[in-house]
Amino acid sequence: MVEPGMLELGKAGSSGVAKGVLPVLRDGVVVAQLRASNWKEAATAVVGEREWVFAKQKRELTGRWSADPEGSARLRARQVSLWKGTWEADLEGTPVAVASLSVWKGTHRFTSGGKTVGESGSTGGWSPRPTLTCAGTVPLEHQVFLLWLEVVIGRRNQAAITGATVAATGGATAGGS
């Protein structure tokens, strides 16, 4: 049985984790650690005693134990529709559909076997951070992978908005020329 509750991605270097590491919190307690790359879609996560490697391989995001051979994957996620913002995930044999709940808030619903198993959200405020609430049947390492997926989707959406803004302004900057 997995403890249900909301996971929250904390601020880097807070809650007793090393600088540059994001704590994954449940009720204010660190349950995992995530070191996400700033430059590519990759991260390492420590969940319990196990280290996971999250990366982009070809057109999908993957997760494997650090001891597994490179190129293997226990967890997978791939975008199904850019326009609808839908994804499909395979969490060690369990299929999970990821659908957009709110385009404006960037939140998602996770379903498996026709049942909702989780929903994402954010902390709000000036620097919102992703949150994830899952059913008690979803293992913690799968929840951490889905939380990382939320980080990746958020970065992709932000890059798309930035690109559209630059294109719309003709590349103009605030200072002008």
Q: According to the model, what pLDDT value does residue 171 have?
A: 63
pTM for the structure as a whole: 0.86
Say which residues have a Cβ less than 8 Å from residue 3's Cβ, sequence separation at least 6.
26, 136, 140
pLDDT at 15: 92
Spatial separation of the C-alpha atoms in residues 83 and 151, rounded to whole Å: 19
pLDDT per residue as tens digits for the range 108-153:
999 999 999 999 998 877 878 899 999 888 999 999 999 999 999 8
Location of structure tokens 């919102």: 128
pLDDT 10s digits, 80-96: 998 888 999 999 999 99
Sign of CA dihedral 19, 20, 26, 30: negative
pLDDT at position 107 is 87
Instruction: Report the chain's mean pLDDT, rounded to a whole number.
Output: 88
Q: Quick check: 70 and 169 in contact, CB under 8 A?
A: no
Query: Which amino acid type is present at position 44?
Result: T
Identify residue 46 by its one-letter amino acid code: V
Where along the chain do its domains lie?
5-162
